[in-house]
Amino acid sequence: MADTTFTPRVFSGIKPSGGLTLGNYLGAIKRWVAMQEEGTESIYCVVDLHAITVWQDPAELRTATHEVAAGMLASGIDPSRSILFNQSQVPEHAELAWIFNCVARVGWMNRMTQFKEKAGSNAEKVSLGLYAYPSLMAADILLYHATHVPVGEDQKQHVELTRDIAAKFNHDYKVDFFPMTEPVIEGPGMRVMNLRDGSKKMSKSGESDMERINMLDDADTIAKKFKKARTDPAPLPESPDGLKDRPEAKNLVDIYASLSGGTQESVIAEYAGAGWGQFKPALADLAVEKLAPISDEMRRLMADPAEIDRLLGVGRDRAREIAAPVLERTYEIVGLVRS
Ligand code: AMP
Ligand code: TRP
C-alpha cells in the first residue's frame, strides 16, 4: 500500500436542530476559531441533513440554519479564510454516505451510544436516517480528506467509526485513499453539562430552557440561569480533586475555566472555599462579558438572511471544488462506470 501523507485539514459541523448553546460554543466553535487562527485549512459546516434525522419544522429549520451560520461568523469564523457552508448544498455528502452505508457494518452501527440514547425504548419508530447518521458524518469528514476534527466529547465514538470506515474501505479496495482522521478533544469545555442535572449534557433540544445557556440569551437570563443552576451545599473545594463526585460543581468550574481560557486549577486558585452565592454571579458576569459581543453580532447578521445565504453559497462553491474530485475518484475505485 502506498504511504500517502495527507496535508492537515480541519472539518467540523453543527446541526441546525435548534439554537446554539454554550456547549456548542465551548465544545466546538471557540476551538474552530483558534484552529483557523493557527492557519490550518478549515472547513465548517451547518449539517442540515443531519438535523432532519429527527423531525424539523421547515420554517424553524431555515431559521436555525441562519442562526448557526450567524453564530459561527459572529464568533470569528472568517469566510474568506475558512470554508463555511450548509451541507445540503453539496450533494457529494449524501452520495459518499451511500458508499459508506455499503462499507459500514450493521454491528458497528448497533454500538453507537448516541443512537441508543436518542432511540431509547422507541428504536422501532425512529427514522432510518438516525441509524445511518454516523455514516453520513464519516462522509462529511472523509469527502475532504480531513485529518483533524474538533468536536465535543460526545462525538468521539463517531470519529472512531469514521476511522473504521476509512480503514475498511482502504483495505477492501487495496488503496490508501482515505486518511485516519484524529478527533481533537481538549480543554475543560469538552462536555458542558445540563444546568439542572449534572449527569446529562447541555443540549439544544432538552425540555427546559433553564437547563441550558443559549447563545442568544440576554444578560439577565444568563444571570438567572446560573443563579438557579443546581449545585450541592458545599463551597468550592481547595483542589480539583475535591470536584470528584460533584458533577454540578465540576460543571460550573469547567465552564468558568473554559470561558476564561484557564483550567480547573486556575479557577480553584482564585475561588477555593468560596460559596455559590459568590461564584455564580462571577460566572454569570464572565459569561455575559464573553457572549454579549457574539450575540449582538449574531442578531445583526440574522437581520440580513440574504447576506448569510450569499456567504454560504461562496462556501458551497469552494467546498465542491474539493469534494467533487474526491467523490469521482471514490466511484472509480469502487468500479462504478463513469461515461
Ligand atoms: P450538535 O449541537 O449536536 O450538532 O453539536 C455540535 C458540536 O458541539 C459537536 O462538536 C458537539 O460535540 C459540540 N457540543 C454539543 N453540545 C455540547 C456540550 N454540551 N458540551 C460540549 N460540546 C458540545
Ligand atoms: N454529529 C455531530 C453532532 O451531533 C455533527 C456533525 C455532523 C459533525 N457531521 C460532522 C461533527 C462532521 C464533526 C464532523 O454534534
Question: For 98-148, what is each residue's pLDDT tens digit?
Answer: 999 999 999 999 999 999 999 998 889 999 999 999 999 999 999 999 999
Q: Does ligand 1 come within 6 angstroms of the Cβ of 28?
A: yes
Q: Residue 15: pLDDT above 90?
A: yes
Q: Record the cell numbers describing residue 179, joined without a space.
A: 486518511
Query: Per-residue pLDDT tens for 220-241?
Result: 999 999 999 999 999 999 999 9
Residues 114 and 247 in one domain: no
Q: Which of 56-60, 172-176, 202-206 has the lowest mean pLDDT?
A: 202-206
Q: Is residue 88 part of a domain?
A: yes
Query: Per-residue pLDDT tens for 155-193?
Result: 999 999 999 999 999 999 999 999 999 999 998 899 999
Q: Is residue 5 part of a domain?
A: no
Q: Which of 178, 218, 161, 175 is nearest to 335 (CA)?
A: 175
Q: Is residue 287 part of a domain?
A: yes
257 confidence band (pLDDT: 50, 70, 90): very high
Q: Does ligand 1 come within 6 angstroms of the Cβ of 49?
A: no
Residues 229 and 140 in one domain: no
Whole-number percent of the chain with pLDDT over 90? 95
16 near 68, Cβ under 8 Å? yes
Question: Residue 122 has what pLDDT?
Answer: 86
- CA-to-CA distance for 249 and 253, rounded, in angstroms? 6
Residues 275 and 291 in one domain: yes
What CATH number is given to the structural domain containing 74? 3.40.50.620
Residues 129 and 241 in one domain: no
Q: Is residue 3 part of a domain?
A: no
Q: Residue 4: pLDDT above 80?
A: no
Question: Residue 1 has what pLDDT?
Answer: 45
Residues 162 and 238 in one domain: no
Question: Residue 123 has what pLDDT?
Answer: 86
How many residues does the structure list for the chain? 339
Q: Does ligand 1 come within 6 angstroms of the Cβ of 45?
A: no
pTM (global) more than 0.85: yes
Q: What is the mean pLDDT of residues 199-221?
A: 94
Q: Which of 138, 140, 145 is nearest to 88 (CA)?
A: 140
Residues 26 and 48 in one domain: yes
Q: What is the mean pLDDT of residues 295-307?
A: 98
Q: What is the mean pLDDT of residues 265-273?
A: 97
Neighbour-count burial of 315, counting CB atoms closer than 10 A to its CB (0-12 exposed, 13-18 middle, 19+ buried): buried
Angle between helical axes of 276-302 and 247-260 (0-180°, round to 10)? 50
The CA–CA distances, whole Å, from 280 to 129, 254, 269, 276 equal 41, 13, 16, 5
Residues 295 and 312 in one domain: no
212 near 192, Cβ under 8 Å? no
Q: How many domains does the chain have?
A: 2
Residues 248 and 107 in one domain: no
Beta strands (DSSP E) in the chain are 9-14, 41-46, 83-86, 148-150, 182-184
Residue 118 annotated among the catalytic residues of the structure: yes
Q: Does ligand 1 come within 6 angstroms of the Cβ of 151?
A: yes
206 confidence band (pLDDT: 50, 70, 90): confident
Q: Is residue 209 part of a domain?
A: no
Q: How far is the CA of 316 from the centre of ligand 1 (A)?
A: 23
**Helix, strand, coil: what percent of the chain each, to 5?**
60, 10, 35
Q: Is residue 213 part of a domain?
A: no
The CA–CA distances, whole Å, from 198 to 53, 181, 223, 232 equal 27, 30, 18, 11
- CA-to-CA distance for 80 and 158, rounded, in angstroms? 29
Domain that holds residue 161: 10-184+306-334
Whole-number percent of the chain with pLDDT over 70? 99
Residue from 14, 17, 52 to probe ligand 2 pocket by mutation (most atoms less than 8 Å from CB):
14
Residues 33 and 75 in one domain: yes
Q: Residue 25: pLDDT above 90?
A: yes
Q: Residue 84: pLDDT above 70?
A: yes
At CA 198, angle to CA 11 and CA 234, rounded to 5?
A: 135
Residues 177 and 323 in one domain: yes
